[in-house]
Structure 1
Amino acid sequence: MGMSYEDWEVGSRNEVGTHTFTVEEIVEFAGHFDPQPFHIDGAAAQASPFGGLIASGWHTCSVMMGMLVRNVLNGSTSLGSPGVEEIRWLRPVRPGDRLHMFNSVLAKRVSGSRPDRGIVTTLWEGVNQAGETVITVRSNVLFGLRHPPAPAGAQA
């Protein structure tokens, strides 16, 4: 069995994976999901305030989610997420940028209404090759407990 609620330690920070963004994938993603000129057209991007092509923030989030699922959540007791509390796009992600994703555990608690699961509050950070944080995402994830308590009224 993969990670369960009990395995998450408040204060821990782990590297989850890395990804290098290419022109082709930036344009392809944006063409489908965020077709703003500075994501899909090199000339228009050059004339924009960004001075060149940049990845959509949603593309960056999607890449980070893929790393998290492949490298952490697969095989875990993850029950999904009730939502994202905050996304901050701090710096543009450009073609050739290599993003290192880190996941920190900010807090955790067993659910009061469903004691077979816990809520883990995490902070994802995407850091580029220059050591600059380009994105942060604060979210909650539900994880099943490895040894949940017996339901009330259950026979021992």
Structure 2
Amino acid sequence: MLYFEDFSEGETFELSSQTLTRAEIIEFAEQWDPQPFHLGEDHGKDAVFDGLVASGLHTLCLGSRMMITEVMNESANMGGKGITDISFHRPVEPEETLTGRLDVTEKTATHPERGDVIFELTMTTSDGSAVLSATYVSILGRRPDA
């Protein structure tokens, strides 16, 4: 179990990778972001994108899941205060593999039993180009007194 005290400013967590298939991109878009360029190849050709691209929300959700399952669920996570500075750096195309990285940028002890940790999530493609970045403020429990 990781507590507030176990996180260090400047620390990096390398997260897993996942390939977004054409079917997954369309399925997500049908339910959550039904814009034409997320729904099929033909729709995207009339847009600023050259064909089908994943929703930025899909990329954000994927990164959030990686962060939660690989770091936050192994910590004294007490919830989140918000997500800010969300940037979609470039579109994600079908069959691209995305990898997450989580950087600890700041810590503030806010209460005797908890503190805030600010994380920067970055999602990159296999060639290392960033497709998404976002800042998360999470509440972490402090280590109980022994």
TM-score, normalization: structure 1?
0.89
Alpha-carbon separation, structure 1, partners of 2:17 and 2:83: 22
Counterpart of 2:91, as a letter, is P
Residue 138 (structure 1) aligned with residue 135 (structure 2): yes
Residue 126 (structure 1) aligned with residue 123 (structure 2): yes
Alignment of 1:6-155 (within 5 A): 6-111=5-110, 114-147=111-144
- Provide, for residues 9-33 of structure 1, a one-character-per-residue CA deviation record: whole Å limited to 9, x for no partner: 1011221111110000000000000
Shift, 1:75, TM fit: 3.6
Alpha-carbon separation, structure 2, partners of 1:94 and 1:7: 37
Is the CA contact (8 Å cut-off) linking 2:40 and 2:51 kept in structure 1? no
Runs of 4+ in 1 over 6 A off after TM superposition: none
Instruction: Give the alignment's Cα RMSD to 1 decimal.
Output: 1.3
Alpha-carbon separation, structure 2, partners of 1:126 and 1:85: 15
Q: How many residues are treated as equivalent by the alignment?
A: 146
Alpha-carbon separation, structure 2, partners of 1:131 and 1:54: 18
- Provide, for residues 63-108 of structure 1, a one-character-per-residue CA deviation record: whole Å limited to 9, x for no partner: 1111111111114210111111210001101111111100001110
Alpha-carbon separation, structure 1, partners of 2:4 and 2:25: 35
Alpha-carbon separation, structure 2, partners of 1:130 and 1:101: 13
Percent identity between matched residues is: 32
Alpha-carbon separation, structure 2, partners of 1:74 and 1:85: 21
Shift, 1:147, TM fit: 2.4
Counterpart of 1:28, as a letter, is E
TM-score, normalization: structure 2?
0.95
Alpha-carbon separation, structure 2, partners of 1:16 and 1:6: 21
The aligned counterpart of 1:153 is: none
Counterpart of 1:73, as a letter, is M
Structure 2: which 5+ residue stretches go unaligned? none
